[in-house]
């Protein structure tokens, strides 16, 4: 029996969950966790709300409330939606919890005490009207690579480029709309370029060869350019406080503290033996397998930055795999929370009570595993009627009707009806299904599962087993 720690990306607690989130990581992670449990593996499936970072404070400003009020509202909404939808988390936590703050601060302090960080005073953008330094996401401007006018200070979501705020053309503050000015401030940087050259990291990235091509491609693109030091602290008042003297107004970078949320959530679930799912064992073959399910916009953080953090801390296993999906579009357009162009999970659950599995089935059928895919209500209707109803539903109905008629619902019998005609076909399907699940190809695995129902219908139609049935033999 192997031990697995499965994580799904921590959703930002600044809005509800939509179908893009579900198709991207939550349904795939749930499918894989359920599959491993059925195989008898030791599995812990962890997630939680990401309650720090600039999107939270921006939402609070928009609504005229505190960041804590924002995260309290959306944490409960997301947790409830996941429960009603049937996502089988072993624990769903939140990064505002005391356990998380303690865990993240201690992790940072360990790296600081080991001399990992570079302490540096740099010039960063400051909003003179708002009277505060601007975190990356408080700054927008034109991307120098693709000319996207709405790039953020840390990343362009159009071309995927990693940016610094000073790279932007015509930068603007999201607080006031003014052009920010540069002022000196001190922060602590993770020396990613130095870590990239280390033997341990070079050995780790050999795993990319066995991962999905989209993950390997994006990571190799970053690595080929050469990684630069990245600040692990920010000038903000919302987040995990930097655990050092004279650091008022500074918190941990959200992408430093958020993945540590996987560790703190495991601690909450298993306070006495959480290390069994995170720490290296005496024999390498006994190491727990850490698997991160994410969307493509989080690949670098989970496949490069967090592993570097774990490596520098010491004692932790590194990701065994990081299966990432692409994006899901809606009716020919990109899902947009700002334009309210989405199918929100909590609204679906209210409008279609008891039909959670229909959405799960359709989203798995169109999962954006290798490229962006699209959800339409017309396709949803067709798949539910023509596949779930006409194939699986028909097979289940026929079996139930026949078992009621001939066995009076009592299936405790030694009577066997051979299906030898279909044995080879069934065995081939089972092998294909197992291979698809192992390779995180859940679209294919679900299609194969539907083929089992097709064969069942074919068997009933061609072999007419009721004709072979003899009541006196029962």
Segment 67-82, tens digit of pLDDT:
999 999 999 999 999 9
Give the per-residue pLDDT at 474.
45
Cα–Cα distance, 438 to 442 (Å, whole number)? 9
Strand partners, 93: 48
Nearest Cα to 24, choosing from 429, 329, 316, 246? 329
Nearest Cα to 336, choosing from 8, 20, 94? 20
Cα–Cα distance, 309 to 111 (Å, whole number)? 8
Mean pLDDT of 161-179: 89
- Cβ neighbours for 160, distance < 8 A, ≥ 6 positions apart: 218, 297
Which tokens sit at 17? Answer: 């969950």
Cα 361 to Cα 182, 327, 453, distances in angstroms: 51, 17, 15
Nearest Cα to 165, choosing from 230, 100, 239? 230
Cα–Cα distance, 348 to 345 (Å, whole number)? 5
Q: Is the dihedral of CA 23, 345, 12, 78 positive or negative?
A: negative
Q: What is the pLDDT of residues 123-155, one digit of tens each?
A: 989 999 988 888 888 899 999 999 999 998 888
Task: Look up tokens 């990306």; give the residue.
Answer: 9
- Whether 254 and 231 have beta carbons less than 8 Å apart is answered as no
Residue 63, sorted as left (phi over 0), alpha (psi -120 to 50) or beta, turns out to be alpha
Cα 78 to Cα 14, 68, 223, 393, distances in angstroms: 10, 15, 35, 31
Give the per-residue pLDDT at 175.
85
- Whether 198 and 116 have beta carbons less than 8 Å apart is answered as no
- Cβ neighbours for 91, distance < 8 A, ≥ 6 positions apart: 44, 46, 47, 48, 265, 266, 268, 269
351: part of which helix (H) or strand (E)?
Answer: helix 345-351
Q: How many C-beta atoms lie closer than 10 Å to residue 400's C-beta?
A: 11
Cα–Cα distance, 26 to 323 (Å, whole number)? 12
Q: What percent of the chain has a predicted confidence (pLDDT) above 70? A: 95
Give the per-residue pLDDT at 137.
80
Terminal alpha carbon distance of the chain? 40
Q: How many C-beta atoms lie closer than 10 Å to residue 255's C-beta?
A: 21
For the entire predicted model, the pTM comes to 0.90
Q: How many C-beta atoms lie closer than 10 Å to residue 145's C-beta?
A: 14
Of 277-286, 323-332, 457-466, least confident by mean pLDDT is 457-466
Q: What is the pLDDT of residues 257-281, one digit of tens each?
A: 999 999 999 999 999 999 999 999 9
Q: Which residue has the higher pLDDT, 411 or 49?
A: 49
DSSP string computed for 145-203:
TT--TTEESSB-TTT--B--GGGSEEEEETTTSSPPEEEEEEEEEE-HHHHHTSHHHHH
- Cβ neighbours for 35, distance < 8 A, ≥ 6 positions apart: 437
- Whether 72 and 117 have beta carbons less than 8 Å apart is answered as no
Check whether 30 has a pLDDT greater than 90. yes
- Whether 223 and 205 have beta carbons less than 8 Å apart is answered as yes
Q: What is the pLDDT of residues 292-334, one digit of tens each?
A: 999 998 999 999 999 999 999 999 999 999 999 999 999 999 9
| Mean of the per-residue pLDDT values of the chain | 92
Phi, psi angle pair for 169, to nearest 5°: -90, 130
Crossing angle of helices 306-313 and 254-269, in 10° steps, is 70
Nearest Cα to 81, choosing from 365, 367, 361, 350? 350
Task: Look up tokens 């509800």; give the residue.
Answer: 16
Q: What is the pLDDT of residues 336-355, one digit of tens each?
A: 887 899 999 999 999 999 99
Give the per-residue pLDDT at 412.
56
Give the per-residue pLDDT at 160.
75
Check whether 445 has a pLDDT greater than 90. yes
Q: Which residue has the higher pLDDT, 219 or 162?
A: 219
123 class by beta-carbon count within 10 Å (0-12 exposed, 13-18 middle, 19+ buried): exposed
DSSP, res 11: P
């Amino acid at each position: 029996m192997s031990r697995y720690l499965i994580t799904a990306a921590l959703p930002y607690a600044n809005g509800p969950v939509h179908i893009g989130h579900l198709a991207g990581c939550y349904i795939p992670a749930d499918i894989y966790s359920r599959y491993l449990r059925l195989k008898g593996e030791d599995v812990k499936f962890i997630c939680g709300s990401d309650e720090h970072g600039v999107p939270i404070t921006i939402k609070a400003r928009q609504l005229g409330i505190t960041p804590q009020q924002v995260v309290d509202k959306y944490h409960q909404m997301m947790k409830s939606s996941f429960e009603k939808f049937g996502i089988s988390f072993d624990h769903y936590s939140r990064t505002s919890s005391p356990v998380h703050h303690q865990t993240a601060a201690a992790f940072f302090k360990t790296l600081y005490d080991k001399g990992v960080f570079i302490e540096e005073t740099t010039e960063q953008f400051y909003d003179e009207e708002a009277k505060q330094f601007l975190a990356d996401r408080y700054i927008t401007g034109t991307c120098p690579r693709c000319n996207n006018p709405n790039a953020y200070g840390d990343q362009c979501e159009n071309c995927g480029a990693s940016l610094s705020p000073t790279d932007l053309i015509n930068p603007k503050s999201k607080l006031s709309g003014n052009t920010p000015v540069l002022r000196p401030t001190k922060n602590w940087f993770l020396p990613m370029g130095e870590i990239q050259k280390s033997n341990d990291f070079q050995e780790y990235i050999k795993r990319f060869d066995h991962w999905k091509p989209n993950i390997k491609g994006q990571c190799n693109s970053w690595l080929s350019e050469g990684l630069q030091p990245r600040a692990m602290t920010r000038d903000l008042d919302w987040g995990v406080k930097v655990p050092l003297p004279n650091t008022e107004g500074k918190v941990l970078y959200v992408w430093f503290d958020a993945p540590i949320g996987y560790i703190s959530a495991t601690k909450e679930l298993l306070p006495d033996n959480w290390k069994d799912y995170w720490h290296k064992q005496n024999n390498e073959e006994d190491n727990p397998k850490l698997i991160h399910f994410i969307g493509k916009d989080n690949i670098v953080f989970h496949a490069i930055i967090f592993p570097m953090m774990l490596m520098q801390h010491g004692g932790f296993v590194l990701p065994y795999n990081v299966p990432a999906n692409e994006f899901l579009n809606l009716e020919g357009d990109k899902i947009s929370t700002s334009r309210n162009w989405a199918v929100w999970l909590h609204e679906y659950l209210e409008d279609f009570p008891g039909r959670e599995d229909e959405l799960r089935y359709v989203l798995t059928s169109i999962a954006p595993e290798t490229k962006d895919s699209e959800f339409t209500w017309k396709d949803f209707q067709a798949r539910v009627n023509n596949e779930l109803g006409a194939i699986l539903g028909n097979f289940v109905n026929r079996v139930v009707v026949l078992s009621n008629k001939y066995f009076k619902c009592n299936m405790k019998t030694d009577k066997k009806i051979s299906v030898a005609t279909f044995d080879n076909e069934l065995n081939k399907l089972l092998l294909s299904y197992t291979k698809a699940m192992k390779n995180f190809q859940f679209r294919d695995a679900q299609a194969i599962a539907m083929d089992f129902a097709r064969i069942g219908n074919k068997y009933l139609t061609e072999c007419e087993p009721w004709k072979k049935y003899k009541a006196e033999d029962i």
